[in-house]
A and B are shown apart, each in its own frame.
Chain A
Amino acid sequence: MDAQSMDAEQKLAAQANVIYRHTLPVRLTHWVNVLCLIILLMSGLQIFNAHTHLYFGNSSDPAHAVLSMGAMQKPDGSYAGQTTIGNWTFDTTGVLGLSRDAGQLEVRGFPSWITLPSYRDLATGRRWHFFFAWLFVINGLIYLAYTFLSGHLRRDLAPSGRQLGSIGHDVVQHLKLKFPKGEEAKHYNVLQKLAYLAVIFVLLPLVVLTGLTMSPGLDAAFPFLVEIFGGRQSARTVHFLCATGIVLFVFVHVAMVLISGVWNNMRSMITGRYRIEAAE
């Protein structure tokens, strides 16, 4: 056998193990979502920077903030960035409360490299936020309609009873960074399914609802919104916590993509095709 036909044979064998994992609607809505979430996070932090305190209830009493960022002057005359959560105060100079923008120290909640625009401009931050909030909601509704109507939810996302029974085993395998192969790898594993379901049906809807609750117009139209969250300031705090939850999810999600075969994963989310490793 010459080298070329060997090569072709290997290719064929490899192709036999390639499955069509992500359909076009899933891939498209995924990447639109990535764009929206990046912009919503960065413009959201710009908006947060206009008032760097969080509260529960309906009023913003500075004495009862649950989270505060700011700067204070130290005895030696220099300034320090401080973040207070409940009764704990942390020195967060350089990142939160006080950070450098183009070399200049500036009193600001989140630093310029993570806000949109980088300079302080609440009006423009709001313009970005609300435009991409609409895109995010429309994209999310398209995804949800597809997920329910196509069977994606039932087929790919709902964990089977057998899977739920083996959660403990899956957690141990994940901690050992051992990922499913062969037949098992053709489906999302149970931890993946639960993480995706929590994001799709809890975190993302909650971030939208708490966002809407901050609107005085919608509060007049749907008074139950404020009641559910226990006040506009509570809604603002929960909105911030949801955003934090989404960021944590993205960290884990991207880490998993990186360590479980970054090119295979990226290809499957771009072209849909995912290569299955043979079981040992």
Chain B
Amino acid sequence: MDIRSKLSRRGFLTRLSAAGGALLLGGCDQLSQSPTFRDVLSKAEGVTQGVQRFVLSQRAMAHEFRESDISAYFKPNGSINIDDASYQAQAKDGFSQWRLKIDGLVARPAELSLDELRRMPSRTQITRHDCVEGWSAIGKWKGAQFGPLLQSVGLKPEARYLVFHCADTLEPGAKYYESIDLIDAFHPQTILAYDMNDAALSVPHGAPIRLRVERQLGYKHAKYVMGIEAVSSLALIGGGKGGFWEDRGYEWYAGI
């Protein structure tokens, strides 16, 4: 009697652990695809953002490196060319006809040429670019500071986010776009970069301008920026999550 109950307990525990293992391995893929479970997992993003914003003073700067630290190899990621006739025509003549549209919830919508952008208050910084895939590269960026630019067009009080509309299409029918909030928009290191490593930004790296938002991962640094829109909510843009990759499951807050 004693031995039998012991055996059945052993059998039960063995079956339990085997079933547990199978459940864990097989069930995780199913859980990964369950919208409810994904919502639960995604709760971590809010916690991460809250804690990082708490420990990260609004003006804390990303580390800036020396010239000698600049990486010999800087992988251009995402789109590296644009299959669009009008973009290619603009690229051919150095983007002299290109205009950056700034509109949405601003008092004075603007269209800026590359020359006008180059005459605005600028900042040069040597920073580390961290890709969500795991690699890093150090580059030197020069561009128009975003904060003063926003002040010049006059953000309306209800504006909460800045959306960057880009020329590239990573998937058929889905233009690349990104968004940041006002904390990052007015951070001194947030620039619209037109130079990389002392030369005009090349096409693979996002010519004519790319956003630099140094305290977040690379996919936030939108390339080929054509227009900037101030909005009060991200819900009605693209897939509603605030960016091309965000619409495909990545975190909107990419400080991690």
- The finding on whether chains A and B are genuine partners in a shared complex, rather than unrelated, reads yes
Q: Does A106 touch B at the CB level, under 8 Å? A: no
Does chain B have a CB within 8 A of A20?
Answer: no
| Interface-central residue, B38, B65, B130, B137, by most chain A CB under 10 Å | B130
- Chain B, residue nearest A59 (CB): B71
B138 at the A/B interface (Cβ < 8 Å)? yes
CB-CB contacts below 8 Å: A44-73 with B: 47-48, 50-51, 53, 58-63
CB pair A223–B63 under 8 Å, yes or no, is yes
Interface bits B2-46 vs A (CB < 8 Å: 1, else 0): 100000001001000000000011001100100000101111110
Residue A216 is within 8 A (CB to CB) of chain B in the complex = yes
Contact B130 A126 (CB under 8 A): no
Query: Does the CB pair A217–B134 fall under 8 Å?
Result: no
Write the nearest CB–CB distance from B62 to chain A, whole angstroms.
Answer: 5
Of the residues B41, B45, B55, contact of A221 by C-beta under 8 Å: B55
User: Do the beta carbons of A232 and B133 come within 8 Å of each other?
Assistant: no
One of B128, B134, B215, B249 near A124 (C-beta < 8 A): B249
Cβ–Cβ contact A218 & B55, under 8 A: yes
Q: Nearest-CB distance from A45 to chain B (Å)?
A: 12
The reply to whether B136 and A215 contact each other, CB–CB distance below 8 Å, is no
Contact A236 B250 (CB under 8 A): no
B59 to chain A, nearest CB (A): 10
- Size bracket of the A interface: 35 or more
Decide yes or no whether A226 CB sits under 8 A from chain B. Answer: yes
- Give Cα distance in the complex from A236 to B48, angstroms: 19
Supposing A61-B73, A127-B42 touch, asked if A219 and B63 sit within 8 A by C-beta, the answer is yes
The yes or no answer to B216 lying at the interface (CB within 8 A) is yes
Query: Which B residues are in CB contact (< 8 Å) with A60?
Result: 71, 75, 134-137
The CB with the most chain B CB atoms within 10 A, among A7, A50, A218, A263, is that of: A218
Determine the residue in chain A with the shortest Cβ distance to B2. Answer: A7
A217 touches B250 (CB 8 A): no
Q: Determine if B82 is an interface residue (Cβ-Cβ < 8 Å).
A: no
Q: Which residues of B contact A214 (CB under 8 A)?
A: 130, 134, 256
Bound CA–CA A219/B255 (angstroms):
9
- Residue of B with least CB distance to A118: B29
Give 21 A-B contacts (CB < 8 Å), ordered by A residue: A51-B131, A51-B134, A53-B135, A117-B28, A127-B38, A128-B41, A130-B44, A133-B44, A134-B48, A214-B134, A215-B52, A216-B62, A216-B130, A218-B52, A219-B63, A220-B56, A220-B62, A221-B52, A221-B55, A232-B136, A233-B135
* Chain A to chain B: the 6 pairs with minimum beta-carbon distance, closest first: A217-B255, A123-B249, A60-B135, A51-B134, A131-B44, A50-B133
- Identify the A interface with B (CB < 8 A): 7, 38-39, 42, 47-48, 50-51, 53, 58-63, 113, 116-119, 121-124, 126-128, 130-131, 133-134, 214-223, 226, 231-233, 236, 263, 266
